């Protein structure tokens, strides 16, 4: 295998009712890169099995981001030459040079950290242009541009074939929230490290809106997302490989939400989904 082939990424896209502009961007990217597109939309976004150089599959309805990622991932890994997979959401904004730059950065970081499993970009909120930073987790800088992070956002992230084959696919039981975090936790338990690089940025929409509460920024998501967030947190708390810091930090954060969400705009609907999610985790083992 040549060095050039080794550094050629294969892309995975997940769609869900994309806008015309998002489809136009995807078609442009698909004309340059190989990969696979899994579509969770109620109606197929394309009427063909190929979009440019990418394979396309309709999931025949919303089967969740994990199931869609797995369907696309299985297709790209059929090519034995693929050593790097870069994941994107439909609303991720990036230049057509980004995938190759990310693979190059992955290999550069791996020279220092041979057990690198996943490398994400620095996320920039596309609504305000500011770098997204968690109020809970403090950055732990590594060598060079590398920042240790066990909760890497999937969009824009490069994962090696070696890590996928060792760690496994994404957990479809979770459906949407914490899917990327859970994979990183499994990778960590198997000896890999995950993180982000300051050398590359990716524009990404973080939540529906942001709320400032006593100087702290709270990301407000769509109401139904709170069902999955609370259900999935309870599911992950019971898993031994999930770090204690995640369980404690998210547990405290989610408990506080139960107290103040009824008093914010639109909070009651979200608050009810929180309770439904917890009830589902306890009574039906997480089934929707």
Is residue 21 located within the same domain as residue 107? Answer: yes
Q: Which residue has the higher pLDDT, 126 or 120?
A: 120
24 and 142, same domain (yes or no): yes
Q: Are residues 99 and 192 in the same domain?
A: yes
What is the percent of the chain with per-residue pLDDT over 90, rounded to a whole number?
Answer: 80
Q: What are phi and psi of 6, to 5 degrees?
A: -60, -35
Does residue 21 fall inside a structural domain? yes
Determine, yes or no, domain membership for 288: no
For 45-86, the pLDDT digits (tens) are 999 999 999 999 999 999 999 999 999 999 999 999 999 999
Same domain, 157 and 231: no
Query: Which structural domain range is residue 143 located in?
Result: 3-204
Q: Say whether both 83 and 133 belong to one domain.
A: yes
Higher pLDDT, 2 or 148: 148
User: Closest by alpha carbon to 218, among 186, 173, 259?
Assistant: 259
Query: Are residues 246 and 148 both part of a single domain?
Result: no
How many independent structural domains does the chain possess?
2
pLDDT in tens, 136-168: 566 789 999 999 999 999 999 999 999 999 999
In a domain, 16, yes or no: yes
Q: What is the spatial distance between Cα 270 and Cα 228, in angstroms, rounded to a whole number?
A: 11
């Amino acid at each position: 295998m040549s060095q050039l082939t080794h550094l050629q990424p294969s892309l995975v896209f997940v769609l869900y009712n994309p806008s015309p502009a998002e489809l136009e961007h995807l078609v442009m990217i698909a004309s340059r890169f190989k990969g696979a597109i899994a579509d969770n939309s109620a109606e197929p976004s394309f009427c063909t099995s190929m979009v440019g150089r990418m394979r396309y599959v309709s999931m025949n309805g919303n089967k969740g981001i994990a199931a869609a990622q797995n369907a696309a991932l299985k297709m790209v890994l059929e090519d034995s030459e693929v050593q790097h997979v870069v994941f994107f959401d439909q609303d991720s904004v990036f230049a057509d040079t980004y995938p190759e730059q990310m693979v190059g950065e992955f290999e550069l970081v791996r020279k220092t950290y041979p057990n690198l499993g996943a490398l994400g970009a620095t996320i920039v909120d596309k609504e305000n242009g500011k770098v997204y930073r968690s109020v809970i987790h403090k950055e732990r800088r590594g060598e060079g541009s590398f920042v240790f992070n066990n909760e890497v956002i999937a969009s824009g992230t490069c994962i090696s074939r070696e890590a996928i084959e060792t760690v496994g696919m994404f957990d479809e039981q979770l459906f949407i929230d914490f899917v990327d975090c859970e994979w990183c936790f499994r990778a960590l338990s198997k000896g890999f490290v995950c993180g982000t690089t300051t050398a590359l940025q990716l524009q990404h929409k973080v939540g529906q809106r942001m709320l400032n509460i006593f100087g702290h920024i709270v990301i407000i998501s769509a109401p139904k997302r709170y069902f999955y967030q609370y259900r999935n947190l309870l599911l992950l708390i019971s898993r031994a490989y999930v770090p204690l810091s995640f369980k404690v930090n998210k547990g405290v954060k989610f408990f506080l939400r139960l107290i103040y969400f009824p008093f914010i705009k639109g909070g009651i609907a979200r608050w009810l989904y929180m309770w439904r999610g917890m009830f589902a985790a306890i009574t039906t083992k997480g089934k929707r």
